[in-house]
Amino acid sequence: MPVGKEAPLHLKPIDGVRIGTAKAGIRQQERDDVTVFEISESARVEAIFTKNVFCAAPVLVAKQHLSETDTGYLLVNSGNANAGLGDEGLIAALTCCESLARETNCKTNKVLPFSTGVIGETLPVDKLVGSLPEAISNLSEDNWLAAAKAIMTTDTRSKGCSRSFELDGETITITGIAKGSGMIRPDMATMLAYIATDLPISQNILKHCIKAASAVSFNAITVDGDTSTNDAVVLMATGKANVKEIETKGDERCEAFLVELVHVFQHLSEAIVRDGEGATKVITIEVEQAISTKDAREVAYTVAQSPLVKTAFFASDPNWGRILAAVGRAPVKCLDVGKIDIFLGNVCIVKKGQRSSAYTEEAGTAVMSSEEITVRIVLAQGQCSASVLTCDLSYDYVKINAEYRS
């Protein structure tokens, strides 16, 4: 079961974005698995994609289409990744884009395709294309929740967030959905995320905002250290709100918007970790006083991705030596172990590189028994810091992934 926080009950519509879902039966027959986003002509769209060099066909096509023209539609399927198939995958992705373009009377390159699911299996194009009329027929601004469910794979619950705030006397809204549960490690993970706002924003500022918000959210989480072939985060700004367009970073409204956007991005990324495959606990790894942010992130990720550390959390076992060992093998130059302090919650377990004289096994066990745990690592070398969100590694993670294709 996912850790804490329930699935969203309501998501606010965004003027200029309509969504339709349909059941294509790509991998399962129980729920919708195809989603179409229709985006207004006034909108601007930015996206960031996986850095896995074996990126899937829809990623290649989406990147190309995004570089060529304004985006009018997003086409998403779950159940099949359309990855690792070479030209066959590219033809399948383009065929789906062409089909949606014909149905909606737009150019093919105005469609961005996205797929998530099993890698290396042929995408059933006929099923997907056959579902498009149904998806188009139920396009609505109120279908965010339906879309959040339709994009799921091994997720146990849908993930979404809405946030409204005042800007220049007008109410601005941001709504987003995401999927992801396993193969989660930036940049980014087996995850898809779609976020929209009605705020008018220039293309350059939209690009700045998606990168800045992702850096402290989707690119600061890990479930199992694996990076998928299909990851994407899409940010849409429809420009429908009656306020002046944000054109520069120096505009104070840009920072105000970014604060709200980060809240939505972090809510969605946290929901992914909380729904990590087999997860029973959520752990925050905080690294402080590093020489650089890069060093802090390397230490945080090394600890967060250690199978031995993660299984200790699952067992509520305060085996702090595993944390210490992970810190020591982080790819960071010139760590002075004689200065390092490590805390499990508020309990100091390592002081200046060795077991704290005040530490007791009982205190460590009490912290490890919690559903939400913070590990704080103080390197005492500089002023930089980083934080990574992760989860434990349970029997169920192995079971889920061993049975993934069965």
Give all domains of the chain, ordered by start, each with its CATH number.
17-274 (3.60.70.12), 282-402 (3.10.20.340)
pLDDT at residue 356, as a whole number: 95
pLDDT beyond 70 at 226 = no
- Encoded tokens for 362: 């009982």
Q: What are phi and psi of 99, to 5 degrees?
A: -65, -45
Residues labelled as active-site residues: 190
Model pLDDT, residue 334: 85
What percent of the chain lies above the pLDDT cut of 70?
A: 93
Confidence of residue 189 (pLDDT cuts 50, 70, 90): very low
| Spatial separation of the C-alpha atoms in residues 153 and 117, rounded to whole Å | 6
Q: What is the pLDDT of residues 46-95, one digit of tens each?
A: 999 988 888 899 999 999 999 999 999 999 999 999 999 999 999 999 99
Per the structure block, which two tokens stand in for 384?
A: 């930089």
270/310 Cα distance (integer angstroms): 17
Decide if pLDDT at 402 tops 80.
Answer: no
State residue 183's pLDDT score.
46
SS3 127: helix
What span, in angstroms and rounded, lies between the C-alpha atoms of 288 and 386?
7
For residue 177, the cross-strand partners are 160, 194
Between 345 and 393, the more confident residue is: 345
- How would residue 184 be classed by pLDDT, with cut points 50, 70 and 90? very low
Kindly indicate the confidence band of residue 4, based on its pLDDT and cuts at 50, 70 and 90: low
pLDDT tens profile 310-328: 999 999 999 999 999 999 9
How high is the pLDDT of residue 156? 82
DSSP letters spanning 336-391: -GGG-EEEETTEEEEETTEE-TT--HHHHHHHHTSSEEEEEEE--S-SEEEEEEEE
- Average pLDDT, integer, range 276-285: 84
- Coil, strand or helix: which one is 38? strand
Using CA atoms, how far residue 209 sits from 46, 175, 192, 203, 385, in Å, is 9, 15, 17, 10, 21
Mean pLDDT over residues 119-142, rounded? 97
Query: Is this prediction's pTM over 0.75?
Result: yes
Q: What is the pLDDT of residues 243-279, one digit of tens each?
A: 999 999 999 999 999 999 999 999 998 888 888 777 7
State yes or no: cis peptide before 187, omega within 30 of 0.
Answer: yes
What residues pair up with 22 in beta bridges, in sequence order?
A: 34
In whole angstroms, give the CA distance from residue 292 to residue 295.
Answer: 5
pLDDT for residue 7 is more than 90: no
**376-358-320 Cα angle (round to 5):** 45
Average pLDDT value for the chain: 91
pLDDT digits over 349-359, tens only? 999 999 999 99
**Predicted confidence (pLDDT) per residue in 365-389, tens digit:** 999 999 999 999 999 999 999 999 8
CB-CB contact of 161 with 268 (8 Å): yes
Query: Between residues 404 and 381, which one has the greater pLDDT?
Result: 381
Percent of the chain with pLDDT over 90: 76
3-state secondary structure of 74: strand
For 132, residues 6+ apart whose C-beta sits below 8 A from its C-beta are: 22, 34, 36, 99, 100, 103
Cβ proximity of 300 and 387 under 8 Å: yes
